[in-house]
Amino acid sequence: MPNPVVHQETYFLFPFVIDKEIVANAHPEFWPPLRSWVDAIDEWLRSENCATNSPVRTRLGGWRRASYDRFDLDSPAYQDMVFFHPFVRRVFFDTKIGETESLLRVYEMTPPSQLLWQAEDLRGRACSVPVKDLRLFLFANGVGILSIGVERKDCSVREALWMNEMMRKVYPTSGRQRREGRVPNSSRLVIQNEVLAEETFELGSLKQFHPPLSKVVQSLLYFLNYETQEYEQIFDERMIPYSYVSISRDFGTGEKLQQLLARLLYVDRDGEGFRYDPEFTSRLLNQHLYTRWAHEGTFYGFTRYSNVTLAFEQETRGLHLVSEGDLIQRMFQGRYYLMAIVALFYRATLLDFAENVALVSRRLYQDLEVGLLQKQNMEIATDLRSDFLHFSNYWHFDELANKDEEIEHFLMQCQAYRVDEMRAEIEKEVDKMNEVIGEYNQVRSTEAVNRLAMLSTIFGAGAVITGFFGMNFGGEFERYFFKPDSHTAGFHWGAVWVVAVVALTIVLLGVWLIVANWRDYRAILRLRRGRLRRHRWFSLRTGGL
């Protein structure tokens, strides 16, 4: 039988988080005070000092804005957007409609036909596939998704599985992986004989908790410096393969097809039978497979580390004519791809929130351990709550699309990513953090009110004393205190000293209370604009400006 894989197309999706504060501080000319992050991204990427010595940028032209600008019936924008609710179109599509832009920027590079992605391991296995698509999604919250699309035709199952499993690796988990051939000993981008970027995984170590990220990925994110922690990878050592595989109708059905589905879905290499226990695998497949069109030979699968579309080779499907192109591949490249990006954005954002909640909690714990919350840390915690509220209200939708099939696809991917569970957990953590800060502020407010009451009482008592001596009593009172003679002068001066000591004590006590609690009063007197400018680009991960 000829090679059973008629057509394979895979987008390797790499989610990452930009430390906006570090980048903004490194490029103050693009992010002056009061300018938002997303407003300066275009200008920054177009600038001449943005990694001008990068071979990828030099040969491929760098990242260019890829906003939708055509909306006729046959345009990709129309065919992609029409399946989504109107509010989703406004949020998750980078379009040139009206004056208000979304909080998402999409960029692309047009790879030349000679651009190849090559990989090989120490056991002689290798592949070389053309790169057909390069896209970059940058969101206003600092989350980014790099998409590397490759395509091949007429290959064996072994070759298809090996490519997906090996090319997704962005760093080894140990030196054994390289020696055993479980990661490539070479992964490179090549144009003819020129190597644009290569990773051999020979050396590497953790630096500031960051693993040694593949040079292939770093070369495509040339505008960011991984060594100075301008961004970090947010998943594990693998990218997410979003794959379409079309197989020959001679391949067969039944258990053989189930074995192929399992190995594609769980990103395993080829082998005899199931990779795992058959009963265990069968239970997993029931959870992870979408089988609405299984009777026509089309299967969809979703896990935390893969998204697979498997179909028999192209043919007319119902009223969808083969002359118009492969329906399954068209959906794979269009709306399902966009839904995969959105679901991945949700998971990346929630993982970033999980990290930030932990970092903020640590700062608050250190403050509470000494009994004094710093104003800056309370502002950071408040900002975190505001960011989460914005994510929940602006970005997050339980339902993206109009039709049942699209809704079911998206829900299955979100379930695999545990989006709802993570969101609920983080929401609870943020609320608890807010309660702690609220209780602390309530205690501080009570203390401030008590100080004011005490000062009022003391100053009131002093006013009573001084007021008493200001009364126009006559007779002996006047002779002793206001018009003393030689016999009453001692009483007069004694009263003066007593009143002076009381008044001075009251004033000094008031000054001492203000000085001792100057932190509270200083925050009141500080100008709001100056506070914003100092707090604007504080990096939570590095703990400084």
> In terms of DSSP bridges, do strands 104-109 and 289-290 run parallel, antiparallel, or are they unpaired?
unpaired
CA dist 277 and 434 (Å) reads 46
3-state SS class at 197? strand
Q: Write down the pLDDT at residue 545.
A: 47
Element (H, E) at 303: strand 298-303
pLDDT at 391: 94
User: Read out DSSP for 41-97?
Assistant: HHHHHHSTTSSTT-HHHHHH---EE--B---STTSHHHHHHTTB-HHHHHHH--B--
CB 184 within 8 A of CB 18: no
What integer pLDDT is reported at residue 468 of this predicted model? 63
pLDDT of residue 535: 45
The DSSP call for residue 494 is H
Quickly list DSSP for 388-454. HHHIIIII--S--BSSHHHHHHHHHHHHHHTHHHHHHHHHHHHHHHHHHHHHHHHHHHHHHHHHHHH
pLDDT for position 505: 82
Q: Which sign, positive or negative, has the C-alpha torsion 245, 250, 255, 259?
A: negative
pLDDT tens for the chain, residues 1 to 545: 578 999 999 999 999 999 998 898 888 889 888 788 888 898 999 887 776 678 898 899 889 998 887 788 878 778 888 888 988 888 998 887 655 678 999 999 999 989 999 999 988 899 999 999 999 999 999 999 999 999 999 999 999 999 999 999 999 988 888 888 888 999 999 998 899 999 999 888 888 788 999 999 999 999 999 988 899 998 889 999 999 999 988 887 888 999 999 999 999 988 888 988 899 999 999 999 999 988 888 999 999 999 999 998 866 565 555 656 678 888 899 899 999 999 999 999 999 999 999 999 998 888 888 877 888 888 888 889 999 999 999 999 989 988 899 999 999 999 999 999 999 999 999 999 888 888 877 877 787 777 777 777 777 766 776 666 666 566 666 666 666 777 777 777 887 787 788 778 878 877 887 777 776 666 666 655 444 443 455 677 666 54
Please tell me the distance from the alpha carbon of residue 483 to that of residue 485, in angstroms, as a whole number.
7
d(CA 218, CA 226): 7
pLDDT at 69: 79
Q: 307-317 burial, b for 16+ CB within 10 Å, e for fewer? A: bbbbbbbeeeb
Buried b (16+ CB within 10 A) or exposed e, 58-77: ebbebbeebbbeeeeeeeeb
Given phi > 0 = left and psi -120 to 50 = alpha, else beta, which region is 491?
A: alpha
Which H/E stretch holds residue 527? none
Q: Determine phi and psi for 344, rounding to 5 degrees.
A: -65, -40
- Let me know how long the chain is: 545
312: phi then psi, degrees, rounded to nearest 5? -75, 160
Q: How far is CA 311 from CA 80, 96, 176, 248, in A?
A: 21, 35, 36, 9
CA distances, 151 to each of 7, 59, 132, 260, 262 (Å): 8, 21, 7, 19, 21
What is the rounded CA–CA span in Å between residue 228 and residue 248? 48
pLDDT of residue 39: 87
The closest of 212, 232, 211 to 221, measured between CA atoms, is: 232
- CA–CA separation, 507 and 518 (whole Å): 16
**Amino acid code (one letter) for 257:** L
List phi, psi (to 5°) of 135.
Answer: -135, 155
Residue listed under structure tokens 């914003």 = 532
Instruction: Give, as one character, the DSSP assignment of residue 325.
Output: -
Question: Which pLDDT does position 140 carry in this prediction?
Answer: 93
Interstrand relation of 126-139 and 231-233 (parallel, antiparallel or unpaired) = unpaired
Residue from 361, 337, 523 nearest 413 by CA: 337
